């Protein structure tokens, strides 16, 4: 994935921001007196960005935070130049930043290979002698000498509403002959004029009294609600897919090396005339053998590497993964194309097509109507990682307006945990825990176990109890974590000393005795925060059942149990039952969240929050004994 960021001490402008709900006034530490962001565009799509920022220090805490700024850019195709950096003192004096206050910080990327490195670079600027009442002034330019797509230019800038500023100006100065479209949300267009063969458009905005954002975790990007502007010379999102494909598709050619490798991987896989198992094998091989470098679509990074190069270094970004897998599939006669998606929290795209709104590349197999992402370390064939689900998909071949990747169907994520415990007279507990998982839950724990060392696996149960201040032992038994299957199973026997303070009277709550990805308490934690009443957020359904059977010593007399519970809120239900017979305590809890899709409305989120509070109360229920 790509993240092209520009940070200053005054303002954050991001390619994809988050919707805000307004709350109480913010204690303003700094005020952006003036911020001008101008783009001077050329016919070939190259451009120069010129920024002027003036930030006034209002409180000591603001001085600490805003006496430095960082200019982010791509060093392979951009040239950065600071034209002014100084402190304007309250009495009007100007103190320029010396050359030593402007430092270069070069990114190294996620890969060990320099050619796969991250070209993201920062110029860090430290302003001198900054005090309350002073104003920091920064002027710089970024010259982009290579267009992302030749002959085209697009930009999206989203303004953070919790920053105080007096004047914000976005300006685009482009050739009049260059067709373009623009949209501004929450801004006022203050200029739209043509002169000497160029057209200048300008939008302004101010936010003198910012209010605190109330957005919570998972808040989605909604282009209809953001304070933002979008500008593009592309007519539609199909043009983005086509422009990407012009240079990417030829890289997926079936070479002799690709054909030989595909035949080796697919040998003996599937029945004749049924290529799905061959596709699975090619997907698994790519996911296992090609390290994901993490760098994806961005300035200077829309053309995949040659497949020979990818195979030689066994590393690639999302474009490289998709291109290599497309070539391998084609070698076996399996149709595939690449698809551009937003792998952040962008579930809707703005009306004006902007390249930065799609930042990840996956594959689509039309014969199976199946999206796959081999960059995911977790996902088995046929299941997308959550970040790819329910997203607008721009197919490079066969583009279809409004096509989306599928969301996880309700019931596809499931955890079933069963715990059998025998309690000794001194409070020592021994028994077994068994966990069966499907969907995302299976993928999550499989990856965790895959990444554990042998020593960590052998000491897993002991260390788990030790982290809680208990002495325990046991052995972890788990399915092969290398297999990318939709289900996963693991279990453990255990013994933990003195978990109950017997023979004294007391009470205890019931909770999982084994680490697991999605207990009932996970649902409570995920929905504990009061949701933003004005914005949608991501959500992910699933079913989790927990069954406990405690065989208690005859010396223990149970005095009371928590009451049975049966709750429903929208598409979510929770049941809990508690029973005692012959000193055998049986407990069963089930949370079943069948909320469809990956995005929840404020009303649905509020319902989950209310239900989570009731479930939390049940989890605190005590078994009282003497």
pLDDT in tens, 557-601: 999 999 999 999 999 999 999 999 999 999 999 999 999 999 999
Please state whether beta strands 188-195 and 360-365 pair in parallel, antiparallel, or not at all (unpaired): unpaired
- Give ranges for CATH 2.60.120.1130 in the chain: 414-625
- Measured in degrees and rounded to the nearest 5, phi and psi for residue 465 equal -70, -35
Region 615-621: mean pLDDT is: 97
112 pLDDT exceeds 70? no
**What single string gives the DSSP state of each residue in 379-394?**
PPTT---GGGTT-B-E
12 pLDDT exceeds 90? no
pLDDT in tens, 458-513: 999 999 889 888 899 999 999 999 888 999 999 999 999 988 888 888 999 999 99
Q: What pLDDT does residue 106 have?
A: 67
Q: What pLDDT does residue 294 have?
A: 74
- Give ranges for CATH 3.10.620.30 in the chain: 239-395
For 6-233, CATH number out of 3.90.550.10, 3.90.1150.10, 2.60.120.260, 2.60.40.3140 equals 2.60.40.3140
Region 381-386: mean pLDDT is: 94
Q: How far apart are CA 419 and CA 550, in angstroms?
A: 8
pLDDT in tens, 279-304: 999 999 999 999 998 767 665 568 89
Q: Which of 1-5, 268-272, 295-299, 408-412 shows the lowest per-residue confidence on average (mean pLDDT)?
A: 1-5
> How does the average pLDDT of the chain come out, rounded?
90
* Band of pLDDT at residue 111, cut at 50, 70 and 90: very low
373 pLDDT exceeds 70? yes
Q: What pLDDT does residue 23 have?
A: 57
pLDDT in tens, 301-351: 688 999 999 999 999 999 999 999 999 999 999 999 999 999 999 999 999
Q: What pLDDT does residue 119 have?
A: 67
pLDDT in tens, 128-164: 999 999 999 999 999 999 998 999 999 999 998 888 9
N-to-C CA span, the chain: 58
168 pLDDT exceeds 70? yes
pTM: 0.89
In this structure, how many other beta carbons lie within 10 angstroms of the beta carbon of residue 342?
A: 24
Q: What pLDDT does residue 113 have?
A: 38
* Band of pLDDT at residue 274, cut at 50, 70 and 90: confident
Q: How far apart are CA 612 and CA 610, in angstroms?
A: 5
pLDDT in tens, 235-249: 999 999 999 999 999
CATH number of 414-625: 2.60.120.1130
- Measured in degrees and rounded to the nearest 5, phi and psi for residue 359 equal -130, 15
Q: Which residues contact 219 (CB under 8 A, 6 or more apart)?
A: 18, 19, 345, 532, 535, 536, 537
17 pLDDT exceeds 60? no
Region 76-91: mean pLDDT is: 95
In the chain, % helix, strand, coil (3-state, to 5) comes to: 20, 40, 40
- Give ranges for CATH 2.60.40.3140 in the chain: 6-233
Give one word for 166, left, alpha or beta, with left for phi > 0 and alpha for psi -120 to 50: alpha
In this structure, how many other beta carbons lie within 10 angstroms of the beta carbon of residue 300?
A: 18
**CATH topology classification for 239-395:** C8orf32 fold (3.10.620)
* Band of pLDDT at residue 6, cut at 50, 70 and 90: very low
């Amino acid at each position: 994935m790509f993240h092209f960021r520009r940070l200053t001490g005054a303002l954050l402008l991001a390619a994809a921001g988050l919707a805000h709900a307004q709350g109480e006034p913010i204690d303003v530490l700094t005020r952006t007196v003036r911020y001008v962001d101008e783009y001077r565009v050329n016919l070939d799509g190259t451009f120069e960005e010129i920024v002027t920022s003036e930030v006034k220090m209002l409180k000591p805490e603001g001085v600490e935070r805003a006496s430095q700024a960082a200019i982010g850019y791509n060093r392979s195709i951009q040239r950065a130049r600071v034209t002014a950096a100084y402190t304007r003192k309250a009495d009007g004096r100007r103190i320029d930043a010396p050359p030593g206050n402007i430092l270069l910080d070069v990114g190294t990327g996620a890969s060990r290979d320099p050619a796969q490195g991250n070209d993201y670079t920062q110029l860090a600027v430290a302003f001198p002698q900054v005090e309350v009442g002073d104003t920091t002034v920064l002027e710089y330019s970024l010259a982009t000498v290579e267009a992302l797509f030749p002959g085209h230019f697009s930009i999206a800038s989203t303004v953070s509403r919790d920053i105080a500023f007096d004047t914000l100006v976005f300006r685009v100065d482009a050739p009049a002959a260059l067709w373009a479209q623009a949209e501004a949300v929450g801004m006022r267009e203050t200029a739209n004029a043509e002169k000497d063969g160029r057209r200048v458009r300008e939008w302004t905005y101010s936010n003198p009294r910012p209010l605190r954002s109330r957005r919570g975790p998972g808040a989605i990007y909604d282009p209809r609600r953001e304070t933002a502007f979008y500008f593009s010379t592309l007519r539609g999102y199909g043009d983005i897919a086509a422009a990407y494909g012009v240079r990417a598709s030829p890289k997926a050619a079936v070479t002799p090396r690709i054909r030989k490798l595909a035949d080796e991987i697919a040998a003996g896989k599937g029945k004749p005339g049924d290529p799905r198992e061959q596709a699975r094998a090619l997907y698994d091989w790519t996911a296992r053998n090609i390290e994901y470098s993490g760098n994806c679509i961005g300035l200077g990074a829309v053309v995949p590497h040659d497949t020979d190069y990818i195979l030689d270094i066994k590393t690639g970004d999302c474009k490289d993964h998709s291109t290599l897998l497309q070539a391998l599939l084609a070698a076996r006669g399996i149709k595939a194309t690449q698809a551009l998606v937003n792998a952040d929290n962008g579930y809707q795209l703005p009306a004006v097509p902007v390249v930065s709104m799609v930042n990840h590349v996956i594959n689509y197999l039309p014969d199976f109507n199946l999206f796959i992402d081999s960059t995911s370390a977790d996902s088995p064939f046929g299941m997308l990682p959550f970040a790819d689900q329910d997203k607008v998909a721009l197919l490079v071949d066969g583009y279809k307006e409004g096509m989306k990747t599928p969301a996880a169907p309700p019931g596809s994520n499931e955890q079933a945990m069963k715990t059998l415990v025998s309690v000794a007279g001194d409070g020592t507990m021994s028994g077994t825990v068994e966990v069966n998982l499907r969907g995302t839950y299976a993928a999550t724990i499989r990856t965790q176990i895959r990444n554990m060392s042998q020593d960590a696996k052998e000491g897993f149960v002991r260390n788990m109890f030790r982290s809680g201040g208990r002495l325990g032992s046991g052995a972890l038994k788990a399915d092969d974590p290398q297999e990318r299957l939709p289900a996963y199973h693991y279990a453990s026997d255990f013994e933990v000393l003195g978990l109950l303070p017997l023979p004294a009277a007391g009470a205890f709550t019931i909770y999982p005795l084994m680490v697991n990805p999605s207990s009932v308490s996970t649902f409570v934690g995920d929905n504990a925060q009061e949701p933003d009443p004005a914005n949608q957020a991501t959500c992910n359904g699933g079913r989790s059942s927990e069954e406990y059977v405690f065989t208690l010593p005859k010396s223990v007399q149970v005095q009371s149990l928590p009451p049975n519970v049966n709750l429903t809120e929208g598409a979510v239900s929770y049941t809990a039952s508690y029973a005692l017979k012959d000193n055998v305590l049986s407990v069963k809890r089930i949370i079943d969240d069948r909320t469809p899709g990956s995005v929840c409305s404020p009303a649905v989120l509020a319902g989950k929050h209310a239900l989570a509070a009731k479930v939390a109360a049940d989890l605190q229920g005590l078994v009282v004994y003497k």
